[in-house]
Amino acid sequence: MNEGRLSRRALLAGAGGAALAGPVLARKLVDLGLPGGPSLRPLDPQFPGKGEMIVQRIRAPLLETPMAVFDEGLLTPNNRHFVRWHWEMPTRVDAAAHRVTVGGAVERPASLTLDEVVGAGERVEVVAVNQCAGNGRGLSDTRVTGAQWGNGAVACAKWTGVRLRDVLAKAGVAPGAKRVRFAGLDVPLTDGAPQFLKSIPLEIAMRDDVLVAWGMNDEPLPLLNGYPLRIVVPGWFSTYWVKMLSTIEVLTGEDDSFFMAKGYRVPTQPVTPASGEVTMVPITTMPPRAFITSHADGDSVARGRPLTLRGIAFGGDAGLARVDLVGAGADRPCTMGPDAGPYAFRRWEVTLPAVTGDLAGIGVRAANVKGAVQPERLAWNPGGYARNVIERITLRAS
Amino acid sequence: MKHAPLLAIIALALAGCGRGSEVTFADAAITLPEDSLDLPQAPGRDAVLANCTACHSPSMMLQQPKLARDKWAGIVTKMREVYKAPVDEAAVPEILDYLVAVQAQAEEPAAREGA
């Protein structure tokens, strides 16, 4: 787990590999520790409204949150919240002209202004982790193609909005409805390419805490994170949290759109890189994860002195049950910080009475109240999705 | 640990807050940073610039793990057939030459770094 750590190597353009050919400019790089590389990523250019972010791609933007940000608090600041767009993102929103259409299997198709969406029901706040399905893909061993994220395609925010079911009620869900599909203002650059459409089962759409959200930590959503509205599905991967929401469509059958039927799919049983064709289904809920944020891989710690480690954890689609320090003979339970709800980051902390030597391969293991526990070994899959293997680092006693 | 931000949120894991109407939406616009199209020199670079980088930054290619030529061919096919990228079929061999060559190049500084 090297995220957020500036490489100890020479960090000037040209020293870091082919990606940086061209004029030699001083730039800060981060080493994400991706097996076999390329592993260095720039922290620039800076994006509007964003602080220092790991720039995976400028166009369409893929911006990763440095791991050190998660050491600062339970809510990720909006200017450090990760960013992921499939198609070129719209850079302008005309608020007065923006509409959210509600159609498909409904009693009376609706076209709602932003004020009408806000007025659709009771205002609701939920603290929830937003995590890309591919978070940590770049750490897959065997490697897989796609956005080569470290572990920072995740963030936790307080979301404010109205219930999706109240927005649906403006149109009236018709009998036979099975799924609810979302689209945003982002559209493909080329004719015939698949739009980014995502759908959830009707019973999920009707949940108490599934929102059409406009607030992120009491601020409007940043444009990069989906202004003016995005879907929030606590416990489910971010792929369903459609940004710049413009279309809600009620479906009476399965969703055969590309990003449901072909993309974002996971095997129904364990696979290896050598497995042939296997049954794949859409990814849905998140498993538990935990990270050490107080120290990075390779850090020095004082021999003979007590050592306090801290970090974050989350339960995925259920609250955390426990977090344990594991490895290097130091196994022990961690103390949990304040509980901001089942879908939020939760702080943990643990103190070793004395460092007696190097702490090789220590990690933290989260378990949720449904009994899901982080595994010792990566549940490898061809899309590099839903990584939740125990993340380990080595600390050097000195 | 910094506890201050927690105080405000502990009680509101899921809190209904009434039908307030003070939410206002302003027009919003941002200007995204320029993409400098940093592509290392290697044969086929012009084909990549002509066919690939109109849709996405070079980093999407340059950050991938090392891939065999046939894997790259599969990706280019996906770009053309699924994402309807206007990639000139005649340019594909040059694009593949470039991708393979650049990944081979990138291994040299990496090896030095590890030394």
Query: Taking residues A16-42, what's their average pLDDT?
Result: 74
Contacts of A226 in chain B (CB under 8 A): none
Pick the residue of A20, A24, A50, A58 with the most B CBs within 10 A to test the interface with B by mutation. Answer: A58
Report the gap between the CA of B29 and the closest CA in chain A (Å).
4
Average pLDDT over all residues of chain B:
83
DSSP A12: B
Q: Are residues A158 and A293 in the same domain?
A: no
Contacts of A98 in chain B (CB under 8 A): 25
DSSP run (H or E) holding A260: helix A258-261
Q: Are residues A302 and A330 in the same domain?
A: yes
Contacts of A57 in chain B (CB under 8 A): 56-57, 59-60, 63
CATH 1.10.760.10 fits B37-115, yes or no: yes
pLDDT bin (cut points 50, 70, 90) of residue B109 is: low
The percent of residues in chain A predicted with pLDDT above 90, rounded, is: 92
Report the gap between the CA of A175 and the closest CA in chain B (Å).
28
Q: Are residues A385 and A365 in the same domain?
A: yes
Q: What is the pLDDT of residues A87-104, one digit of tens each?
A: 999 999 999 999 999 999
Q: Are A116 and A106 in contact (CB under 8 A)?
A: no
Give DSSP secondary structure letters for chain B: ---HHHHHHTT-TEEE-----------EE--PPP--------TTHHHHHHHTTTTS-THHHHTSPP--HHHHHHHHHHHHHTS-----GGGHHHHHHHHHHHHHHHHHHHHHHH-
Beta-carbon separation of B39 and A21 below 8 A: yes
- The residue behind tokens 């449904």 is A370
Nearest CB to B62 within list A19, A89, A123: A19
Reduce the DSSP state of residue A285 to 3 states and report it.
strand
Contacts of A310 in chain B (CB under 8 A): 1
pLDDT of residue B60: 96
Contacts of B65 in chain A (CB under 8 A): 34, 36-37, 143-145, 148
pLDDT of residue B107: 74
Beta-carbon separation of B110 and A15 below 8 A: no
Query: Taking residues A252-279, what's their average pLDDT?
Result: 96
Residue A366 pLDDT more than 60? yes
Contacts of B12 in chain A (CB under 8 A): 125, 127, 158, 340-341
Q: Are A229 and A245 in contact (CB under 8 A)?
A: yes
Residue A111 pLDDT more than 70? yes
pLDDT of residue B108: 64
The percent of residues in chain B predicted with pLDDT above 70, rounded, is: 75
Tokens, residue A205: 């759409």
Q: Are residues A262 and A384 in the same domain?
A: no
Q: How many domains does chain A have?
A: 2
Q: Are A235 and A128 in contact (CB under 8 A)?
A: yes
CATH number at residue A211: 3.90.420.10
- The residue behind tokens 């999705």 is A385
Contacts of A38 in chain B (CB under 8 A): 62-63, 106, 110
Nearest CB to B19 within list A45, A119, A215: A119
Residue A311 phi, psi (nearest 5)? 180, -160
Q: Rounded to an integer, what distance in angstroms lies between the CA atom of residue A118 and that of residue A251?
A: 24
Domain parsing of chain B, residue ranges: 37-115
Q: Are residues A314 and A217 in the same domain?
A: no
Q: Is residue A327 part of a domain?
A: yes
Residue A385 lies in domain:
289-397
Query: Taking residues A267-278, what's their average pLDDT?
Result: 94
Q: Is residue A382 part of a domain?
A: yes
Contact partners, residue A91, CB within 8 Å, separation at least 6: A223, B29, B30, B31, B32
Q: Are residues A319 and A390 in the same domain?
A: yes
Cβ–Cβ contact B71 with A under 8 A: yes
Q: Are residues A226 and A163 in the same domain?
A: yes
Pick the residue of B14, B17, B53, B82 with the most A CBs within 10 A to test the interface with A by mutation. Answer: B14
Average pLDDT over all residues of chain A:
94
Query: Taking residues A270-278, what's their average pLDDT?
Result: 93
Residue A307 pLDDT more than 60? yes
Please state, in angstroms and as integers, the Cα–Cα distance from residue A189 to each residue in A125, A193, A195, A258, following that order.
Answer: 35, 8, 10, 16
Query: Taking residues A120-147, what's their average pLDDT?
Result: 98
Q: Are residues A273 and A336 in the same domain?
A: no
Query: Taking residues A63-69, what's their average pLDDT?
Result: 98
Q: Return the amino acid letter for A123.
A: R
pLDDT of residue A26: 61
Q: Rounded to an integer, what distance in angstroms lies between the CA atom of residue B61 and that of residue B48?
A: 10
Q: Are A82 and A152 in contact (CB under 8 A)?
A: yes
pLDDT of residue A14: 30
Q: Are residues A121 and A257 in the same domain?
A: yes
Q: Are A124 and A209 in contact (CB under 8 A)?
A: yes
pLDDT bin (cut points 50, 70, 90) of residue A348 is: very high
pLDDT of residue B13: 44
Q: Rounded to an integer, what distance in angstroms lies between the CA atom of residue A61 and that of residue A82?
A: 10
Q: Is residue A146 part of a domain?
A: no
Beta-carbon separation of B64 and A148 below 8 A: yes
pLDDT bin (cut points 50, 70, 90) of residue A51 is: very high
pLDDT bin (cut points 50, 70, 90) of residue A107 is: very high
Which chain A residue's Cα is nearest to B3?
A73
- Counting one residue from chain A and one from chain B, the pairs whose CB atoms sit within 8 A come to 201
Beta-carbon separation of B38 and A208 below 8 A: no
Beta-carbon separation of A94 and B27 below 8 A: yes
Give DSSP secondary structure letters for A154-220: EEEEEEEEEEHHHHHHTT-BPTT--EEEEEES---SSTTPPP--EEEEHHHHTSTT-EEEEEETTEE
- Number of helical (H) and strand (E) elements in chain A, helices listed first: 4, 27
pLDDT of residue A22: 43
Q: Are residues A319 and A175 in the same domain?
A: no
Interface of A with B in 123-182 (CB under 8 A): 123-127, 138, 143-145, 147-148, 158, 160
pLDDT bin (cut points 50, 70, 90) of residue A27 is: confident
Query: Taking residues A344-363, what's their average pLDDT?
Result: 98
DSSP run (H or E) holding A115: helix A114-118
pLDDT of residue A274: 95
Q: In what order do the strands lie in the sheet with A332-333?
A: A300-301, A391-397, A359-368, A320-326, A332-333
Q: What is the pLDDT of residues A201-224, one digit of tens each?
A: 999 999 999 999 999 999 999 999
Interface of A with B in 365-394 (CB under 8 A): none
Q: Are residues A271 and A319 in the same domain?
A: no
Report the gap between the CA of A103 and the closest CA in chain B (Å).
23
